[in-house]
Amino acid sequence: MLVLGDGGAIYTLGAQGNMPFEWPTKYPNKSAILPPSKIANNFIHDAPAGAAQDDHDGIGAGCHCPGALYTDEGSTNWNITNNVVSRVHMWLQGCRAGCPWIGPNWQDYNYYDSASQASSNVEARCPLVSDVEVNSSQWPPTALSVMRNAGPQTQS
């Protein structure tokens, strides 16, 4: 994110779902149609604040950069879980104030270091559940497993 002022490592845009089903109690949003889509088991790292401090050459509403996990305009019905974020300016660009068309989404069991502790999220629409800020030299075993196993995989 050195040029553009709006984006992230994992970026969503728009709603998910269109068939009725029985909701698990974990997801209280009865207006969604399908179980949430998942963003899971990713290791996002080394994306500090970029050079683009103004959004869209002054046209937008300020820099939204870079979000490691970024749910943008109309993103709804996502479960963002078990991801690791290290050395990124903002670990979560979630349901932002002034954007009621984003969410509900659920962010749970994600790990981020103190360099990535900034976030933008309205928890009433997009709850944070058991997300953990850690000392980057002391990642818990679950986070270390994600870090080891994330990325492109060879097919056998």
User: Per residue in 100-134, pLDDT tens?
Assistant: 888 888 899 999 998 888 888 888 888 899 999 99
Average pLDDT, the chain: 78
pLDDT for 13 beyond 90: no
pTM: predicted TM-score of the whole model, two decimal places: 0.80
Give the DSSP letter string of 22-43: PPPTT---TT--SPPEEEES-E
Match 């050195």 to its residue by tokens. Answer: 2
With CA atoms as reference, report the closest residue to 120 among 88, 96, 91, 89: 96
Report d(CA 49, CA 125) in Å as an integer. 26
> Where do runs of H (alpha helix) occur along 11-102?
none
pLDDT for 136 beyond 80: no
User: Per residue in 47-106, pLDDT tens?
Assistant: 766 544 554 454 445 555 667 999 888 888 888 999 999 988 889 988 888 888 888 888
150 has which bridge partners? none
Phi/psi of residue 72, each to 5°? -100, -165
User: Per residue in 141-151, pLDDT tens?
Assistant: 999 999 999 98
Match 């870090």 to its residue by tokens. Answer: 147
> Where do runs of H (alpha helix) occur along the chain?
141-149
Q: Phi/psi class of residue 73: alpha, beta or left (left: φ > 0; alpha: ψ in -120 to 50)?
A: beta
pLDDT for 28 beyond 70: no
Strands (E), the chain: 6-12, 37-40, 43-47, 64-71, 78-81, 84-88, 90-93, 106-108, 111-113, 118-120, 128-129, 132-134
Q: Which two tokens stand for residue 31?
A: 């207006």
Kindly indicate the confidence band of residue 32, based on its pLDDT and cuts at 50, 70 and 90: low
Over pLDDT 90: what percentage of the chain?
28
